[in-house]
Amino acid sequence: MKRGTLFFALLLAVSIQALGFQNTQVDYDAVYRIKDEGFNNSQVMDIAWNLTDRIGPRLTGSEGLKNAYDWTSATFKEWGLSNVEVQPWGEFGKGWDVRKAYIAMTVPYYQALIGIPKAWTLGTNKLVSAEVVYVDAADEAALSEYKGKLKGKVVMLPTSIEAKTTFEADARRFTDEELDGMTKRNVSGGGSGWSASRIAEYRRAARMRNAAYELFKSEGVAMVLNTHRGGGQGTFFTSNGSRNDDSALPEMEIAPEHYNRMVRLVTKGEKVMIEADTKTSFHTKDQKGYNVIAEIPGSDPSLKDEVVMLGAHLDSWFAGTGATDNAAGSAAMMEAIRILKESGVELKRTVRVALWSGEEQGLYGSRNYVQNTFMNDKAPNGEWEKFSAYFNMDNGTGAIRGIYLQENEAARPLFEEWFKPFHEIGASTVTIRNTGGTDHQAFDGIGLPGYQFIQDPIDYGTRTHHTNMDLYERLQAADMKKNAVIIATMVMQTANMDEKMPRKPKVFENR
């Protein structure tokens, strides 16, 4: 060997080491086995069917979510996973279910309305018949003019929701151009956040809503009606009531067309009557929240104390069956760990799956889990040191098209390499961008690598997110299969790296 050649070979070796080349390497044998199990023996749609059609809505604290805890933990045990646990994360503090949801317009003519009680509100507990009053007050003075006029009435507030005819498809996939655009960091040139006037307007509107609600309570209205975005055409969005305790008024969310018809009628001087019969029940027995946890113990004695996690939130809203939000993610994660177990691929580190609850109310399950598991009060503990990375899925049913680096450039070489076997199914985009709104943030928030995937939107934003039509039909079977396979691969690669997943610098030092 010539001296010059040796020099370059050494330089190359050093460079490869510095770039973490040993970590990026794809284990093509394992990937083949994961693909084989995930594409040829998939159970993901059966899992999703159980979570949606069979178990139904899974609001945190509801009977449905309890059934989901039971079924998912039993299923994990059946698959031979270890350390299966329905693990309390703390007090959720409430439990509630809908027992009856009937509402109809009776004057000027009969037509049943599409609607459901808002979360944690009271039912009417009998068939009530009441006139509709449209409370359109610009300020507190205008509001006070309704005093003495609302007892026993059904009240409606102005809404900006319209159910316009759409000339665009509900469902779509990202184009190559959009995916390419996503690889660029968004750097704002202007100030961030809301303007002072927008904040003032927001506060004024909140104050008015609050004043209106206090008036409705003191007057003794029969019911408060609302509508919300959700796509229209019979689809409506579910949300919380104005108050989340058992002193709340009966409140219902109804389809925007049905809401706006009554607004138009009343504002044009027509009398509108409603009949409604709703029942809700508050559970007091066990108000704790739980996460469902299971593991595949690591095979490498020196690495098995280190953990790679995958997870998704199991809880949902309740007007549909939470198919895309988030039976899709839960089923993908369950299927991913089933694939890892069933395919028998080597996993040096311990792999742990978590199905969270309370996500919809503020990532409660995951935030409490990371606090309980990785922290001693405000300082990271030994488990924090031994943690590698967490993978989350909560963007609906759409195919994974890539991953968000959550601004940590150090992970780029890994994911760029690991996604190579999935270019064939359209997943190749690695973006420096952050994404938020779900459970990976609990990990990211304490300096642990938490990742969420780029997924095709399908009809998540237009039709399914938190709506009554978030049902089994909306799940895309081919996408669901792909997602479980990709997630299983990412977890396998992470579990078998020489090092743990690179972290962002100094999260605790900076605090």
The answer to whether 348 touches 298, Cβ cutoff 8 Å, is yes
Residues in contact with a second copy, counted by CB under 8 A, come to a total of 61
HSE-up of residue 260 (Cα within 13 Å, Cβ side): 15
- Which window, 143-151, 227-235, 356-364, 409-417, contacts a second copy (CB under 8 A)? 227-235
Least Cα distance to 475 among 453, 488, 456, 449 occurs for 456
482 binds a second copy (CB under 8 A): no
325 binds a second copy (CB under 8 A): no
To the nearest whole angstrom, how small is the minimum distance from the Cβ of residue 96 to a second copy? 12
The residue written with tokens 């020489």 in the block is: 498
The answer to whether 484 touches 422, Cβ cutoff 8 Å, is no
To the nearest whole angstrom, how small is the minimum distance from the Cβ of residue 508 to a second copy? 44
264 binds a second copy (CB under 8 A): yes
468 binds a second copy (CB under 8 A): yes
448 binds a second copy (CB under 8 A): no
322 binds a second copy (CB under 8 A): no
Among 2, 126, 164, 511, the residue binding a second copy under the rule CB under 8 A is 164
DSSP, res 378: T
To the nearest whole angstrom, how small is the minimum distance from the Cβ of residue 364 to a second copy? 23
- Which window, 156-164, 178-186, 346-354, 368-376, contacts a second copy (CB under 8 A)? 156-164
Among 165, 192, 247, 302, the residue binding a second copy under the rule CB under 8 A is 165
DSSP 278-336: EEEEE--S--EEEEEEEEE--S-TTTTTSEEEEEEE----SSS--IIIIIHHHHHHHHH
To the nearest whole angstrom, how small is the minimum distance from the Cβ of residue 228 to a second copy? 14
- Which window, 69-77, 79-87, 157-165, 434-442, contacts a second copy (CB under 8 A)? 157-165
Report the residue number, 123 or 241, with the smaller CB distance to a second copy: 123
175 binds a second copy (CB under 8 A): no
- Which window, 226-234, 373-381, 424-432, 494-502, contacts a second copy (CB under 8 A)? 226-234
Report the residue number, 320 or 449, with the smaller CB distance to a second copy: 320
**At residue 493, what is the residue type?**
Q
DSSP 111-162: EE--EEEPBT-B--SS-EEEEEEE---SSHHHHHTTTTS-TT-EEE------
Report the residue number, 275 or 342, with the smaller CB distance to a second copy: 275
267 binds a second copy (CB under 8 A): no
Q: Tell which positions 91-150 bind a second copy, by CB under 8 A.
A: 97-102, 104, 108-112, 114, 116
To the nearest whole angstrom, how small is the minimum distance from the Cβ of residue 42 to a second copy? 17
d(Cα 98, Cα 109) in Å, to the nearest integer? Answer: 27
Report the residue number, 123 or 289, with the smaller CB distance to a second copy: 123
- Element spanning 442, H or E: helix 440-444
The answer to whether 443 touches 48, Cβ cutoff 8 Å, is no
Question: If 0-12 CB within 10 Å is exposed, 13-18 middle and 19+ buried, where does residue 468 land?
Answer: buried
Q: Tell which positions 24-63 bind a second copy, by CB under 8 A.
A: 49, 53-57, 63
Among 35, 94, 367, 474, the residue binding a second copy under the rule CB under 8 A is 474
The answer to whether 69 touches 379, Cβ cutoff 8 Å, is no
Distances in whole angstroms, Cα of residue 211 to Cα of each of 135, 200, 207, 280:
12, 16, 6, 25
261 binds a second copy (CB under 8 A): yes
- Biggest distance spanned by C-alpha atoms of the chain: 99
Backbone angles phi, psi at 70, to 5 degrees: -65, -50
Question: Contact positions toward a second copy, by CB under 8 A?
Answer: 49, 53-57, 63-64, 97-102, 104, 108-112, 114, 116, 162-173, 231-236, 255-257, 260-261, 264-265, 268, 270, 277, 321, 458-459, 463, 468-469, 471-474, 476
